[in-house]
Amino acid sequence: MSLPQESEGYMDESLLQYYTKQWSKYTSASGYVHHVFRYLNRHWVKREIEEGRKNDVFDVYTLALVSWKNHMFVHVQHNVMTAVLKLIERQRNGESIETGLIKSIVESFVSLGLDDNDSSKLNLEVYKKFFEEPFVRDTEVYYKTESEKFISENSVPDYMKKVVTSFPTCAEFRLAEEESRVQMYLHQTTHKPLITKCEAVLVKNHAEVVWEEFQNLLDSDKQEDLHRMYSLLARIPDGLDPLRTRFEAHVRRAGLSAIEKIADTQQDAKEGAKESETVEPGKYVDALLEVHRKYNDLVQTAFKGEAGFVASLDKACREFVNRNKVCKSSTSKSPELLARFCDSLLKKSAKNPEEGELEDVLNSIMTVFKYVEDKDVFQKFYSKMLAKRLVNGTSASDDAEASMISKLKEACGFEYTSKLQRMFTDMALSKELNDQFKDRMQQTHDSSDLSVDFTILVLGAGSWPLTAPTTPFNIPDDIVKTYDRFQKFYQAKHSGRKLNWLFQLSKAELKTNYLKAAKTGYTLQVSAYQMGILLQYNNTTSYTIEELQESTGLTPDALNPALGILVKAKVVVLDNGDNVGDAGTKYDLNMDFKSKKVKINLNISVKSEQKVESEETHKTIEEDRKLLMQAAIVRIMKTRKVMKHVILINEVIAQLQTRFKPRVPDIKKCIDILLEKEYIERVEGQKDMFSYMA
C-alpha cells in the first residue's frame, strides 16, 4: 500500500503525526542516499545542469523532494492543511496542543518550494499557496465570527461602554497571541499578512464604534483605556485621525472653560469691570498652564508622545491662548497679561519664589509664550516693564532677568532681544559713569559743596521704550548746581551727544526737619515732581494751586496727581476747596504729620496712568506693525521684482507670523501707502500685479 493510500486511514491530529513521521523518515533516508551518490551529484548532475540540460535533472536529495511533492504531497496537502487549521483553532480556543507538529508541517511545506532556475535554492511558493493563504483566510473567518459574536452579545449602549475595556483588551490579547504564533511555528514571512488581516478584522472593522467612545474616555480621564485605544487604532491606516481631531476640540473646550471660569470669578469680585481689567495675570497664566500640563501629560502617557497628538495639543492651545473670554476679539491681551505676570515674578516682592522655583516658573511661561501669536505685543510690554524695573531698581535678580532674556532669545532669535540686552549694557555703563562723576566732584569740590547725593542713569534712546516728558519742569534750586555740573561733565566726555532729561521717571528722597513729634524726622521717597512741590515749602508753608504751578512749571495733568498723593498721605493739607487742583485751592504743609513708618513711599503710580500707558503701548504696537509690514513688502518686492497681489500678501504673512499675525486688510493698506510713496507700482494692464521701483 502506498503512503498516500495509507494516509487516508488517518484524520486530524493523527494524520499530522503520520505525515510528520513519514516525512522525517523519508528525508533522513534521502539524505543517506544523497551521500552515497555524491560522485554522481558532483560530476554527472553538475555537468548536465551546466550544459543546459537541467530539465528534470536534480541532485539525488532534490530529486527525492520532487518525488515526495509529486506523489505524496499533492494527494494529502488538503487533508493535512484542514487538520492543521483545526489544531490551531483548538489552540485559539484555549486548549494546549503539540505545536511541534505544526512546526514540522511548516518546515515540510517550505522545503518543497524548489527554485526552477536553481534547484539548490528554495522559494516559498508551496508554503505561500498551500499553507499561508488558507491559514490567513481561516484566521479572518475565526476572528470575524468572534468579534461579531462579542458585539451581538452586548446591546449597543452596553457595547459603547464595554468596547474599550473588553473588546480591545481581547483584540490586544489576540494580536499578541498571533505575534507569538509566528515565533512558535510559522515562517517569519507570514507575520505581515497575518497581522494585517487580524488588524483589519479586530480593529478596522469596529473602528467607528471605538472612535465614538473616545470622548467618554477623555471626559472620564481613563488614561489606561485611552492608551489601549491608541495602541489598537495606531495599527490601522488613518485610525488615529478622528482621535486627534476630537482630542484637539476637547482640549480647546477645556482651555476656554478654564479661562471663562477665572474671568467670571474675578469679575464677580470686581463687579462692573471688564474681564480684561479684572483678571489677575498670575491666575490667568496658571489656568492656561494647568490645561496644557494636564493634556501634555496625557499625550506623553496615553499616546506615547505621538507627533500627531502633540500637533493637536499645540493647535488647541494656540487657539484658547489667543482667543478666549478675556481676549474677546483682541489677540493682544494674552501677551500683555503674560508680560505682566513676568513683571510680578521678576520684581522685588515679599512673595518672590526661590531661585530654583523661579527658573521652573520661567520655563512654564515660555510654554505659554510658544503659543502666543502676537509676540511683538509681549516684547513691547515686557521691554517697558523691564525698563521700569531697571530704572526703579526693583529687579529681584539679575540672574533671573538674564535667564528670561536668554529663553526669549532662544525662542525668537537675537533681534527680538537685542534691545533688552542693550538695556543691561546701559545700566553697567551708567554705574561706571556715576563712579567717574563722583570721583571728579571729590577732586574739584569741597565736601561741603556736595550736599546732594546724586545718581544718574544715561540710557540709549534707541534701546529704551521711554518717552519724553509731556510737561515742563523747573528744576528746584537745591539740585540745579548738581544738574549743571553733570551736564558739563558729560558734554566734556561726549561732546556730540545730547541729554534729554526724563524727570517723570526720576525720584528722590527728602528728609523732614520741621516736625516736633519726630525728633529724627522722616524720609520721604518721592517722584521728581513731588520733590519739586515739597521743596517749595522750604520757603513758606502755604501755597495756592496757581503758585505751585508757577513755581514748579508743571502742567495740571502732571501737578494734580503728584499733589493728590501728598494730600492723601497728609504730608500737605488741602486748606480750602473740595478737590485737588481746583482753582484757588490752598495747600498747607502739615506741621503735625505723623506716621508709624520712618521711611514713607509717596512715589506711587496712579491706576489711571497705568491704563493710559497700556493704551499708548497698544497704539505704538499698531504703528510699529505698519512699519514692519511696509518693510517686509519692500524687502520681498526688491528680491522678486514682480509679484502677484495674492502671492505678495501670503509672503508678507509668512515672513511676519513669528512676531504677529498680519491682517489682510492691514497689508492692503500698507501696499496702498507704498504705491503712493512710489516704492512699488502696478504692472500696466494687470491690476493684480506689482513691480518694484528701484
349 inside domain: no
pLDDT top residue among 151 and 527: 527
Region of poorest pLDDT, from 153-167, 538-552, 615-629, 677-691: 153-167
pLDDT in tens, 523-537: 999 999 999 999 999
Look at residue 55 and tell me if it is in a domain. Answer: yes
Residues 47 and 115 in one domain: yes
Q: What φ, ψ does residue 373 adopt, rounded to 5°? A: -80, -45
Same domain, 71 and 111: yes
Condensed to tens digits (0 to 9), the pLDDT of residues 204-230 reads 888 888 888 889 889 988 898 898 889
More confident residue, 203 or 159: 203
Helix or strand or coil: residue 463?
Answer: coil
Q: What pLDDT is recorded for position 168?
A: 58
Axis-axis angle for helices 477-493, 414-444 (nearest 10): 110
Predicted confidence (pLDDT) at residue 331 exceeds the cutoff of 80: no
Please report, for the domain that includes residue 677, its CATH number. 1.10.10.10
Q: What is the pLDDT of residues 397-441, one digit of tens each?
A: 899 999 999 999 999 999 899 999 999 999 999 999 999 999 888
Find the farthest-apart pair of alpha carbons in the chain and give their distance in angstroms, rounded: 140
The strand pair at 599-601 and 523-527 is best described as parallel
Stated length of the chain:
694
* Residue 617, domain member (yes or no): yes
pLDDT digits (tens, 9 = 90+) for 379-393: 999 999 999 999 999
Position 624 in a domain: yes
- Please state whether beta strands 642-644 and 507-511 pair in parallel, antiparallel, or not at all (unpaired): unpaired
180 part of a folded domain: no
Using CA of residue 212, residue 167, residue 231, residue 367, what is the dihedral sign? Answer: positive
Q: Helix-strand-coil percent breakdown of the chain, rounded to 5?
A: 65, 5, 25
Does the predicted model carry a pTM greater than 0.75? yes
pLDDT in tens, 99-118: 899 999 999 999 888 765 66
Q: Which of 240, 103, 104 is nearest to 181 (CA)?
A: 103
Q: Among 116-120, 134-138, 225-229, 498-502, whose mean pLDDT is lowest?
A: 116-120
Q: What is the pLDDT of residues 259-280, one digit of tens each?
A: 999 888 766 555 555 545 568 9
Tell me, yes or no, whether 582 and 629 share the same domain. Answer: no
CA neighbor of 252 nearest in space, from 303, 329, 307, 324: 324
Flag whether 523 is in a domain: yes
What long-range pairs does 276-279 form, CB within 8 A, spacing at least 24? 276/326, 276/327, 276/328, 276/333, 279/326, 279/337
Per-residue pLDDT tens digits for 582-598 = 888 999 999 989 888 88
Same domain as 620, residue 592: no
**Domain identity same for 594 and 622:** no
Are 545 and 563 part of one and the same domain? yes
Q: Is the pLDDT of residue 161 over 50?
A: no
For residue 163, pLDDT beyond 80: no
Residues 165 and 225: their CA atoms lie apart, in Å, by 7
Same-domain status, 589 and 618: no
Listed residue (560, 496, 498, 499) closest to 529, CA to CA = 560
Classify residue 353 by its DSSP letter.
P
Residue 188 clears pLDDT 80, i.e. is over it: yes
**Residue 537 and residue 518 share a domain:** yes
Q: What is the DSSP string of 590-648?
A: -TT---S-SEEE-----HHHHHHHHHHHHHHHHHHHHHHHHHHHHHHHHHHSEEEHHHH
Residue 545 and residue 648 in one domain: no
Question: Which of the two residues, 487 and 33, has the higher pLDDT score?
Answer: 487
Per the listing, cell 509668512 goes with 654
What confidence score (pLDDT) does residue 162 get?
44
CA–CA separation, 108 vs 122, rounded Å? 12
635 and 551 within one domain: no
Same domain, residue pair 567 and 517: yes
Select from 122, 144, 171 the last residue of a domain. 122
Confidence (pLDDT) at 158: 46
Residue 38 pLDDT greater than 80, yes or no: no
Phi and psi at residue 459, to the nearest 5°: -120, 135
Sign for the pseudo-dihedral over CA of 365, 367, 372, 373: positive
Task: Give the chain's domain count.
Answer: 3
CATH number at residue 527: 3.30.230.130
Q: Could you count the other beta carbons within 10 Å of the beta carbon of residue 197?
A: 18
540 and 585, same domain (yes or no) = yes
pLDDT greater than 50 at residue 157: no
Which of 58, 93, 122 finishes a domain?
Answer: 122
The pLDDT, as a whole number, for residue 160 is 38
Residue 101 contacts residue 17 (beta carbons within 8 Å): yes
In contact, 33 and 64? CB cutoff 8 Å: yes
- Out of 77, 102, 122, pick the residue that ends a domain: 122
Q: Which residue, chain included where needed, has cell 556730540?
A: 496
Q: CB of 283 within 8 A of CB of 259?
A: no
Q: What domain range is 601 assigned to?
A: 506-605
* 553, part of any domain: yes
Structure-derived torsion over alpha carbons of residues 73, 75, 77, 81, reported in degrees to the nearest 10: -150
Residue 626 forms part of a structural domain: yes
Q: How many CB atoms lie within 10 A of CB 574?
A: 20
229-242 average pLDDT score: 89
Q: CB neighbours (10 Å) of residue 535?
A: 18
Residue 19 has pLDDT above 70, yes or no: yes
Residue 349: which region, alpha, beta or left (left: phi > 0; alpha: psi -120 to 50)? beta
Buried b (16+ CB within 10 A) or exposed e, 112-135: bbbeeeebeebeeebbbebbbebb
Contact 576, 584 (CB under 8 A): yes
Mean local confidence (pLDDT), 321-346: 88
Q: What is the DSSP string of 230-292?
A: HHHHTTSTTSSHHHHHHHHHHHHHHHHHHHHHHHHHHHHHTTTS-HHHH--HHHHHHHHHHHH
pLDDT class of 610 with cuts at 50, 70, 90: low
More confident residue, 293 or 615: 293
Question: Residue 254: which of 227, 290, 229 has the closest Cα?
Answer: 290
